[in-house]
């Protein structure tokens, strides 16, 4: 159920019997020469809406701009400061609690949002206002993502390219896939950009001239559909698990 498409009386039955909501979040930021700036929020919204359709749970409008200053050197990238982002998401979530929602899944598709969503969830749980958890699509299916691509990448790579090919293929500049690969960084791992154990980089451009990582030419719409279906199944499972929990069991344990 998509909240913004309902009238307020339409929601009577839902808020009277259910207490779970899905909030999709992403970013509006560079994803190389081949993908739209909307990549992250398109993925988050598509997964959230699909899971909502399959389960009947409530899905809110998408938060399209996140914490993205590490992509600021590239045209069009938008971001909000981290404290403002945290406060906004917290305020929006507390708004839902007023209507009876006490558990929330943040369907997230932008790595820069992760730690901030975790912090918001902690604030809400410490107040016993709600139990809110962050879910990142590719982290729910890590083995599949790694198995289907020889050269994966954390940003603008084949996994995101394949997902957008499935969700909105017309937005992928397929004639630029070779340029994306050749102008970016094909291989990137946990040790890249580190010196004596210290992470020495702050921005995407420090490690990739065109802002992307991985081999985008490995992506296909068919792989994107496989990733989308697998991630949706994981999200549906999470929603059903969370809905089945006693709220008291989700709250902090007392001091020992």
Q: Each residue of 123-162: pLDDT tens digit?
A: 999 999 999 999 999 999 999 999 999 999 989 999 999 9
Average pLDDT over residues 60-74: 97
Which tens digit of pLDDT belongs to each residue from 80-112? 999 999 999 999 999 999 999 999 999 999 999
Other Cβ atoms within 10 Å of 201 Cβ, number: 13
Quick check: is 256 in a domain?
no
Quick check: is 149 in a domain?
yes
Is 208 in contact with 185 (CB distance < 8 Å)?
yes
Quick check: is 20 in a domain?
yes
Q: Mean pLDDT for the chain?
A: 96
The stretches of 64-113 forming alpha helices (DSSP H) are: 82-98
130 vs 194, more confident = 130
Categorize the per-residue pLDDT at 177 as very low, low, confident or very high, splitting at 50, 70 and 90: very high
**C-alpha distances out from residue 118 to 60, 85, 110, Å:** 19, 12, 13
- Domains in the chain, number: 1
The Cα 172–Cα 33 span in angstroms is 9
Q: What letter would DSSP give residue 150?
A: S
Quick check: is 34 in a domain?
yes
Categorize the per-residue pLDDT at 217 as very low, low, confident or very high, splitting at 50, 70 and 90: very high
Categorize the per-residue pLDDT at 72 as very low, low, confident or very high, splitting at 50, 70 and 90: very high
Is 17 in contact with 1 (CB distance < 8 Å)?
no
Domain boundaries, position 29:
3-248
Sign of CA dihedral 129, 133, 134, 135: negative
Quick check: is 217 in a domain?
yes
Quick check: is 11 in a domain?
yes
pLDDT at 79: 98
Say whether 106 sits in a helix, a strand or coil.
Answer: strand
| β-pair type (194-195, 198-199) | antiparallel
Other Cβ atoms within 10 Å of 247 Cβ, number: 12
pLDDT at 188: 77
pLDDT at 192: 78
pLDDT at 70: 97
Q: What letter would DSSP give residue 138?
A: G
192 vs 198, more confident = 198
All residues at 6 or more sequence positions from 195 whose CB lies less than 8 Å from its CB, including other chains: none
CATH of the domain at 105: 3.40.50.10310
197 vs 87, more confident = 87
What tokens were used for 26? 């992403």
Categorize the per-residue pLDDT at 206 as very low, low, confident or very high, splitting at 50, 70 and 90: very high
All residues at 6 or more sequence positions from 181 whose CB lies less than 8 Å from its CB, including other chains: 214, 215, 216, 217
Quick check: is 254 in a domain?
no
Helices 82-98 & 114-126, crossing angle to 10 degrees? Answer: 40
Quick check: is 253 in a domain?
no
Average pLDDT over residues 202-220: 95
- Which range is least confidently modeled, 44-48, 114-118, 206-210? 206-210
Is 128 in contact with 184 (CB distance < 8 Å)?
no
Is 147 in contact with 177 (CB distance < 8 Å)?
no
Alpha-carbon dihedral angle through residues 156, 66, 79, 169, given to the nearest 10 degrees: 40
- The burial of 12, by beta-carbon neighbours within 10 Å (0-12 exposed, 13-18 middle, 19 or more buried), is given as exposed
């Amino acid at each position: 159920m998509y909240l913004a498409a309902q009238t307020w009386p339409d929601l009577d039955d839902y808020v009277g019997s259910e207490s779970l909501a899905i909030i999709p979040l992403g970013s509006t930021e560079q994803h190389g020469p081949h993908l739209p700036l909307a990549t992250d929020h398109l993925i988050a919204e598509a997964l959230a809406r699909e899971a909502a359709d399959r389960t009947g749970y409530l899905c809110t409008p998408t938060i399209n701009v996140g914490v993205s200053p590490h992509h600021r050197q590239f045209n069009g990238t938008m971001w909000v400061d981290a404290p403002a982002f945290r406060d906004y998401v917290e305020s929006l979530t507390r708004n839902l609690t007023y209507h009876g929602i006490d558990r929330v899944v943040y369907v997230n598709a932008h790595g820069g949002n992760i730690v901030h969503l975790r912090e918001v969830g902690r604030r809400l749980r410490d107040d016993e206002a709600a139990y809110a958890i962050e879910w990142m699509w590719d982290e729910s299916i890590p083995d599949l993502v790694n198995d289907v691509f020889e050269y994966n990448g954390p940003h603008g790579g084949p996994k995101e390219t394949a997902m957008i090919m499935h969700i909105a293929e017309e937005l992928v500049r397929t004639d630029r896939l070779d340029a994306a690969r050749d102008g970016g960084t094909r291989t990137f791992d946990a040790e890249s950009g580190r010196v004596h154990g210290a992470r020495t980089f702050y921005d995407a451009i420090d490690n990739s001239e065109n802002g992307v990582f991985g081999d985008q030419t490995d992506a296909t719409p068919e792989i994107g559909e496989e990733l989308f279906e697998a991630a949706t199944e994981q999200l549906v499972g999470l929603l059903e698990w969370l809905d089945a929990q006693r709220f008291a069991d989700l709250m902090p344990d007392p001091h020992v």
